[in-house]
Amino acid sequence: MTDRDFLTEEELDALLPSPPIFNVGAVKERVLTQISPVEQPSAQKPSRHLWKGLLLAAAVCVLSVSCLAVADYASGGRIAAALGIVPVAKEEESASAVGQSAELVPNKPVSVNPVKAEPEPESEPELPELGAELTNSFSFTPAQTQLLRPAAQTVNKTAVNQNVTMTVLQTLGDSQYLYIAVRFDFPEGVPVDTTYRFSDMDFLVDGQQGNSWNSTVTECTTHSVTYLISARSFEALSGQTVTLRYSDYGFYKPEEQDATTLTLPSGKVTIVQISADGNIVFNNTDATVTIGDKTTVQVGDTSVVLGGGNEESAPAGENVSSEAPAAQAAPTNVPTRTETDEARGIITYYYADGSVLVTCDGTHGEQYLVVADEGTSSFRIIDDPSGHPGFNTLLPGKWEQSWTLSYQDLSKSWTGKESLFVPGYNLAALRISPLSCHLEFSGQLDLNDPDANIPYVPDMAVTFIMTDGSTPEQAIHLSGRSAHTEEDGSYISVSEQRFKTPIDPSKISAVVIDGKTFPLT
């Protein structure tokens, strides 16, 4: 039984066709800039007298430096040379020097300035070969690889910090979608596997805000990691300058924390929503439970230490009839289990002494462990209740590279105004690229009609007419939409679909939707 009044992540996921896309950094920026300035994290403010002193000192410095600069210019730089002031080295050179001199000291962060690589001259436009990083990630066929060459751009720009080299290898894009392959090469002594990662990544498009992205590891060796970044923008990407920035290399480690005891309403066994347990990993697919070392479980007044990386399996969707995780891991200290109950991802173990062990889906895709003790009407959250393990930085710093996107958008499109599906739901634009299909509808809501809705079409079937006149039977199905309504009731509704395998728009002459034909140009 539960008295929670909100949906779990699992229940929400089941109701969502795809995960929402947003930039958490942008959310944070919006929120933090809107809270009261006194609430912002800040250093201690200098007093008014100190400010006056600083301003006076700054003015004197500016005048002195200005006079010195004029004299130095007049003397052809001899004054500066006499004072030992040398020209500032290029950022990349100094960064490299820092990297070469810095010793690798795990768990002992040292302060390193952000490194922004020197912009390099743009290479001459040429048709690039699609690199292995992209072709392997998508399993492109040779024909598809050839087709996509104009939409690819070989970047090959590097930024070095802490002897770690970031190389932006290649991009592949259409009007609004962009894939970026980026590799990090690490020096000897730096641990490299999927446990280790960068604490933060940013993808920025100059002058644009509505972009989003996600990142996956496509290859990991003992000395390098290759990521594939999948980005989306609401404005055209080709021709824009973009920046890719990574921060701090390290790993997440569950913090050691004491068990927490919360009081329950009398006479009830309650499941509360807490977050993941770093030491207990539940695999929802095959109902495998992996218990990490030295996980403490408290059942009633008995404290039990689980451990040894035990792995237990139970058939998904069935009651766990084998030993409960706690019982199998430490049979000597755990009360006899009398019953189990599993429903909707929640497994409850009932013990003879009245205590109840409950495992539930966590908020981050893992599960957490709660021990509910009916005897004392309390339960204990075991191990890492925050579910937000701290990030341990091994190599502090930033790795950043900017470049201008220069590739051919292979999209074919149609624009106009044609009512589809529902009267007044007007197709305004459609675009087919090798990578995606994009439909844009416009319309007007009657603000006086309380029942006025943006029409929702659960499944839009899009079929093609090829240049040779043939019509493939297979259709593209677009479900879901995103929409934006203005104050005056006008709206734009977008439905789009990324293709799992690329298509060749040059062989498509028209698109058929809702029985109407739209020629592509």
384-413 positions binding another protein, by CB under 8 A: 385-388
Cβ atoms of residues 101 and 147 within 8 Å: no
Two tokens, residue 384: 């890492």
455 binds another protein, rule: CB under 8 A: yes
In the list 101, 139, 285, 453, the residue contacting another protein (rule: CB under 8 A) is: 453
Q: With residue 65 as reference, give the H or E element that holds it.
A: helix 48-74
DSSP letter at 193? S
Tokens 């899009």 belong to: 462
Cβ atoms of residues 483 and 501 within 8 Å: no
Which CB sits closer to another protein, 84 or 265? 265
* Binding to another protein in span 259-318, by CB under 8 A: 260, 262, 272-275
CB of 18 to another protein, least distance (A): 6
DSSP letter at 56? H
CB of 70 to another protein, least distance (A): 45
CA distance 217 to 393: 19
211 binds another protein, rule: CB under 8 A: yes
Integer-rounded Cα radius of gyration of the chain: 30
In the list 34, 101, 139, 321, the residue contacting another protein (rule: CB under 8 A) is: 34
CB of 219 to another protein, least distance (A): 26
* Binding to another protein in span 423-452, by CB under 8 A: 445, 447, 450-452
Strand partners, 108: none
In the list 157, 183, 197, 232, the residue contacting another protein (rule: CB under 8 A) is: 232
> What string of H, E and C letters represents the secondary structure of 8-24?
CHHHHHHHCCCCCCCCH
CB of 468 to another protein, least distance (A): 36
Spatial neighbors of 376 by CB under 8 A, at least 6 apart, are: 300
CB < 8 Å & 24+ apart, contacts of 119-125: 119/402, 120/157, 122/403, 122/404, 122/406, 123/154, 125/406
**DSSP-based three-state secondary structure for 361:** strand
Q: With residue 347 as reference, give the H or E element that holds it.
A: strand 346-351
In the list 90, 477, 484, 507, the residue contacting another protein (rule: CB under 8 A) is: 484
In the list 428, 481, 504, 510, the residue contacting another protein (rule: CB under 8 A) is: 481
CB of 17 to another protein, least distance (A): 8
CB of 386 to another protein, least distance (A): 5
Options 37-45, 304-312, 326-334, 459-467: segment touching another protein (CB under 8 A): 37-45
Cβ atoms of residues 25 and 17 within 8 Å: no
Which CB sits closer to another protein, 40 or 285? 40
**DSSP-based three-state secondary structure for 224:** strand
In the list 296, 302, 340, 363, the residue contacting another protein (rule: CB under 8 A) is: 363
Residue type, 213: W
In the list 1, 43, 86, 88, the residue contacting another protein (rule: CB under 8 A) is: 1
In the list 15, 43, 86, 88, the residue contacting another protein (rule: CB under 8 A) is: 15
CA distance 444 to 488: 8
362 binds another protein, rule: CB under 8 A: no
Strand partners, 177: 232
Two tokens, residue 135: 């072709």
CB of 316 to another protein, least distance (A): 15
In the list 39, 286, 473, 488, the residue contacting another protein (rule: CB under 8 A) is: 39
End-to-end CA distance of the chain: 59
* Binding to another protein in span 150-189, by CB under 8 A: none
* Binding to another protein in span 191-210, by CB under 8 A: 209-210
In the list 148, 237, 280, 381, the residue contacting another protein (rule: CB under 8 A) is: 381
Options 7-15, 83-91, 167-175, 407-415: segment touching another protein (CB under 8 A): 7-15
CB of 67 to another protein, least distance (A): 43
Spatial neighbors of 20 by CB under 8 A, at least 6 apart, are: none
